[in-house]
Chains A and B, each alone.
Chain A
């Protein structure tokens, strides 16, 4: 490590330091007010319609009435229930193979867990 010795006071060398400090501070300040998108929270409650299917008790036939759920998926839902127990949230229907995010969105108003 090399140490520079300032034997006499030199205003210019100190100005230099201050400038450096200033630049650092500006940079930090600038990067602070970055483009973090502030999106207004538009909390959407799932509106469950009255005739919603209870996915924890429904039979295969009842499940098949839901959009995008065929024989295969209905069977998998029932298998899933037998293996892992009740669905604690309707969203967890997505654990079942064949029910993607998009498909779930189309039937989320039609299902309930209790």
Chain B
């Protein structure tokens, strides 16, 4: 078993980054069982993350003599509510009163806290049991201390409401009174820890809105990455090469140095490919405030050398992708006799379509920002990062420091969506602090920096072909997916989607079709490609769910009925049977592809939305279903197209089955947010290139959804789950079905099929 194969089943995005060099040139594709590790015990879930899972109560929980329970949160808060949800799990098991709980953000230290990567919709999925264990352990220690104080068996005492009670004698001791004695006890063995029964819980899986940061947010009292302030700090912005891979030819600093407040101008070297998390290079302007730095940057006279990507042009690249999907390519899944079946089918029994999805920028409302100070051979970083550990190691490497000599303080993130999994901006800030002799420097990315130098969501053309039986059901299904791969960011020249990308709704299409083939042409990358909320599920699900609706229409069948028939009867499919050896890093035995659950969310969403109801002219309902991040989601969107061709969205119904919902209100808010993001990317999301440069620069030309165009109502329907079930992801799974549901609704309302995103002006009426 060679090393790259291990990478394939790795759950950790960083695991395979480490060895990504070995990835180049390695065939990522194998037959149905070829992807599975042959040697050693396979680890899944959190255990397979580089930092693993830690459930040590002493690491995560402490209790003061004043009774205040302090719980460490090791994942980054970016709007998903994790700073509330994880500590609440431990607090509930402990029997703590949430009003007496303080949450402390853990610095980057995976040896102590386990994996801190906040991505892949898995913070709760991988930490729920650990946090319960933490709380239950501390509870037993408090109970043991109280029982010893009273000289009664520990079985007679019980912790609840922030105190331990001996019911027989009516005695109570507060957590604060017991903290000292409990801390001296050995940590009880794992076998002695018992978890609460569901009916004993008061926070977990309860609907509440006790967000730990809510009050600070509404009063402007929060600390995001961009808000760090240190004594003697200066402020920086950077002019980066406009073309990825380009470099500085010349700079005239004369005028910039005359701008009041400008302190220093520093040239930063670029890095050879692959991009990794390295700075892009350029010229930094350091000043006494951000505005002076921005003015100074405007005054720079810059000449760039564009390099190999200077001709990158989105129109031409679309043609490249289209050409790629119009000829046979290497299969990643080949079940049955797809090619032969398609060849034998008469033209009237065949359907094909191509779908185009452009690059997207994350456009977090807080752009990337980081502050670094270097003193006495040690660096301190304050940054809004989803990958604290990678931030620490990359800063250490850039400064030539030992890993131990770098501290990373994780601030709140003003949105993440995958952008802040890449800590290039923290590395830039570190180099600037070094250039200022270690004095603190805050680096801010302006909006144009953010849109023009992002690790963009990929661009793709998806081609689907099906042959049909007499009833219009597919006898063969061919999907060619052409998109620059994220692995190109970590291995120069990587040109085929990796198993983790194909495992996002392409390779593992679970339809009951005898012949299925998924082909993956080679295509180059000309910019930094990165994870964007829901990642490759966005293009794959858009194409597949649009095409399924097109097939239903061709068969003159109701779309819902057709989709259910396409999925076939309720059954559990081993993802390996779908050639998917990745399965979001989860154990296929615990997380099979469950067609019953998929059918159920379709039935639930359509029932709630009143599927089939009579609508006035110009209105339509659209449906799509998606399985991603081991969660099942169906969306029904109602649209109204007015005389001008504008799209209004009166109502959205989304059904999700993610197993148990630990913090149901935050599950709902993630669904609502994913819905808005899905509509946003479908209606207006597009980053395009000309002469190697991003054409968009701010929210006037990279439009994101605003209140006026938002759905009037978003109904969320959660499939009940119990705590003994496996957890599914929450943050990302509701995005993929949105764009296809919307375009299916547009088709229902207008008869116009949208095959290229964004919708933009495609429906606009002239005059």
Question: Are A and B genuine complex partners?
Answer: no
List residues of chain B with CB under 8 Å of any chain A CB: none
Give A residues with C-beta under 8 Å from B: none
